[in-house]
Amino acid sequence: MRNDVLEYIGLNLENPPRELDTKNEVHMQSYSGSNLYKVYDYISVHNLEVLITPLDRTAELKERYREAKTLEEYLKTDNQKLKKTFMEILDLASVNEIKKIEELQEKLNKKIPDLVRYSENYLWQIYYSEQDNKYFMLFPANEGETSVLFYIIKKKLEKADTKIFVPINKLDYSGVILSKQEINDMENYIWLFTNEWPNIYEVCNKEIYITGKTKIIDVFDSFYRNVYDSKEKAKGFYMLLKAMFILSTETNYQYTFKPYVNEKGELELKYNGEIVNTSNLTEFIDKQTELKKENIKKLNTEIEKNKKILEELKEYVKEQNNIYVMQEKQIAMFLECKNSFFKKISYFFKSKKFTIPKTKIDIKINKIGKEEDAKIDVINSYTIKELINVSLELNKIERKAKDLRADIRELQIKKENLSRKIKNASEYIAEIEKHKKSIFEFWKFTNKDAIPALEEGNANGDNANKNKILGVFNLEQDLDILGTKVDSLQRQKLTQNEMNVIFASQFCIDAINNIDDDKILEKVLNKLKAKADKVKEESKIEDLLKDYRNIKTIKSREHRETERNEISILNINQSTTIEQFREILKKCKKTLDEALEKITSITQMPIYVDYSNCNSVSCDCNENCGKNCSNDLKKNNEEKERFIIGEINPVKLINSKNVNENEGKNINKTTTNNNNNKIKLKKLQIKDNTHILYFSNIIFFENQNNTLPIGMDLSTQVLIKIAENSSKKKDSKIEDKEKEIIEEINLLEKINDFEYKIKTILIQ
């Protein structure tokens, strides 16, 4: 191995060439900065001094430098310890590894990685000495990756000068495009909007690369990559981020800007679905300022009207309260008269008929409309400071208006409560008056053992009947809780037959939905028959190896359960005819309907259906349909109920897609994205108590031994039923309106260091 490496790099240890001699001493400096791998450049191998240190990369830099010796010393020394160390380094080297480094650097000389950093960048322990204006390599001798040293030696021995693209450790940004402070500020700004720290690289003192990862609409992860080759462009993006940062923080986050990745893979910001960039920032500030001012005017008008309404309500409630107090006195007198003969006679002859004073008031609460609905004509030009001041002023007025509305609502509840009490008291008094036609009838009425009690009003008004509002479903935080609850629920309520059919529906849902279409039934049946043959062969082997102690795992949790099998559930064999299959599917359909009636959703959440290659927006075909999809409901206008298998986690849908013709191309190149290259998802909003079935763990295993872990660890799919081509749905709690694309997002995904792909997701 030693000879192979030495021969390949052209090094004679008996007579080390002068090209490897140290030209000048390299002086260490403080390197107070902590910028590891933030500055990249092409440097000449001939001008690179190589130092070898016995310490690894984790040791203190000063200690590594203090223990280091030049390559020349290792090659021309009589010190046996140094010779032994060099031979150990040589033993670990490989010609193949050296060739890989050569190939990588050849690629790097043609193209910088899209995200700058590459997987082998840690191998280059290269620093810059400002005092000597020289680069040096501090090679760690005791680490396993040693081929990089011999790659450098090989290139030093070649006549042609080779430049390598490497990170320069501990080197501060040059400030040519952006100052160090501006870059540090930019990191903070981007963190606020993406909740992830970006990587900001300076490349060859002439380009700034801003790269990182962000979540798009809180579900999808995407890389982003912004490159600025001029001070003007970089400064423009910096000032935009600064403006958005100030606007967000100084207005107490009245403005929330969401990250967005455009079709070039660049990070941009959106407010209320609209992109805010350097070209429309001024227009955005002007429009928002005018909008806030207009809302202040509307709120002030509302406040003045509601002040009057509040006073009227107070007066009205006061009158109602007085009426009820008089009614209470009348009733109290009647109840008191029951205690003696003389009091009864006195009440009958002295009490007058009670009449309710007339009070009437028509109260309407004024509310301001949404900001987005207002049409604003921008006349003046404003600054960010003016927008912030107007926003803070509007916030104060909104709180005042909100407090007024709350006071009015409280008085309205009190008014409604008093109205009920007055009504109940009036009916009670009317019952008393009805028996005052004669002294004998009144005497008889007052001597009854039980007299109807006076009903109290409802202290909370109609609010007591309001449904509880559930929080927004968070996929990352709530999925485990959801899985535990729904799996426990389905184990309790579903029969074994129902669970079997739910499992099997994954493989024949298209046939169930098109039970009268022989072509679809034949296609699905043939696939099941082909699988039946395979299952038959596998089962023979399994029978031989069958062991009741066979342990399986689900996310590191062990169990001893038998997996369900769609072939045995559907009873498919080679002699099964289409008519027999149709009868089987009819029973399955009935069973699914019965199972759906038993299970309802426990939270509100969205589910997603993929219809990328289908003409039908609502297609649920497991075969990805294709252009000749027989599920195209646009071919007829009939109403048709359909089972749909949806996905709680949309990321699984887009990850399952095949790489299309544009994916994998360099993002620096212009690619055309037409509808055939876009992933289309339909979003269905599941409300509380919607009829739904979950593909939880119990759907996949029989659990006869009661060892199956509880949860949704194997799938995040669900099954629902909706009515197509009709505004009348099978379940009105499922929002499934025909609508235009409501969200278009781009995801920048990494293939390797040099290749990235853009996925465009259309969400309807």
- Residue 2 has a pLDDT of 78
Nearest to 71 by CA among 126, 141, 8: 141
Structure tokens at 33: 């900065």
- Residue 423 has a pLDDT of 84
State pLDDT tens for residues 708-720. 999 999 999 999 9
Give the phi and the psi of residue 626 in degrees, each rounded to 5: 90, 180
Q: pLDDT > 90: what percent of the chain?
A: 49
- Residue 388 has a pLDDT of 95
- Maximum average pLDDT range among 341-345, 424-428, 474-478, 497-501: 497-501
pLDDT score of 638 more than 70? no
**Confidence band for 669, pLDDT divided at 50, 70 and 90:** very low
Q: How far is CA 304 from CA 309, 393, 464, in A?
A: 9, 17, 30
Please say whether the beta carbons of 454 and 425 come within 8 A.
yes
Nearest to 533 by CA among 564, 568, 573: 573
- Residue 466 has a pLDDT of 38
Dihedral, 760, 761, 762, 764 alpha carbons, nearest 10:
-170
Please say whether the beta carbons of 683 and 764 come within 8 A.
yes
Average pLDDT in the chain:
82
Structure tokens at 388: 């912030």
Calpha distance 210→234 (Å, rounded): 10
| Non-local CB neighbours of 249 within 8 Å, separated by 6+ positions | 192
Please say whether the beta carbons of 390 and 293 come within 8 A.
yes
pLDDT score of 34 more than 70? no
pLDDT score of 355 more than 80? no
**Confidence band for 739, pLDDT divided at 50, 70 and 90:** low
pLDDT score of 132 more than 80? yes
- Residue 344 has a pLDDT of 60
CB under 8 A, 24+ apart: contacts of 26-31 = 26/51, 26/129, 26/132, 26/134, 26/136, 27/129, 27/131, 27/132, 28/62, 28/65, 28/129, 29/129, 29/130, 29/131, 31/61, 31/127, 31/169, 31/170
pLDDT score of 662 more than 60? no
User: Listing from the earlier edge strand, what are the strands of the sheet with 48-53?
Assistant: 69-70, 48-53, 134-140, 126-129
- Residue 219 has a pLDDT of 85
Nearest to 227 by CA among 193, 199, 254: 199
CB under 8 A, 24+ apart: contacts of 183-187 = 183/208, 185/238, 185/242, 186/210, 186/238, 186/241
Distance of CA 722 to the CA centre of its chain: 26
**Confidence band for 667, pLDDT divided at 50, 70 and 90:** low
SS3 366: coil
Calpha distance 378→286 (Å, rounded): 6
- Residue 445 has a pLDDT of 62
SS3 741: coil
State pLDDT tens for residues 37-72. 899 999 999 989 999 999 888 888 888 888 899 998
pLDDT score of 741 more than 90? no
State pLDDT tens for residues 76-92. 888 888 989 999 899 99
Strand 679-686 and strand 756-763: pairing? Answer: parallel
Calpha distance 748→214 (Å, rounded): 10
**Confidence band for 13, pLDDT divided at 50, 70 and 90:** confident
Give the phi and the psi of residue 650 in degrees, each rounded to 5: -65, -20
Q: What is the 3-state secondary structure (H, E, C) of 592-658?
A: HHHHHHHCECCCCEEEEEECCCCCCCCCCCCCCCCCCCCCCHHHCCCCEEEEEEEECCHHHHHHCCC
Which amino acid makes up residue 69?
A: K
Structure tokens at 84: 């032994």
State pLDDT tens for residues 585-609. 999 999 999 999 999 998 889 999 9
pLDDT score of 612 more than 80? no
Residue holding tokens 């465009």?
A: 760
- Residue 145 has a pLDDT of 86
- Residue 102 has a pLDDT of 94
Pick the more confident residue, 435 or 373: 435
Pick the more confident residue, 133 or 636: 133
- Residue 62 has a pLDDT of 86
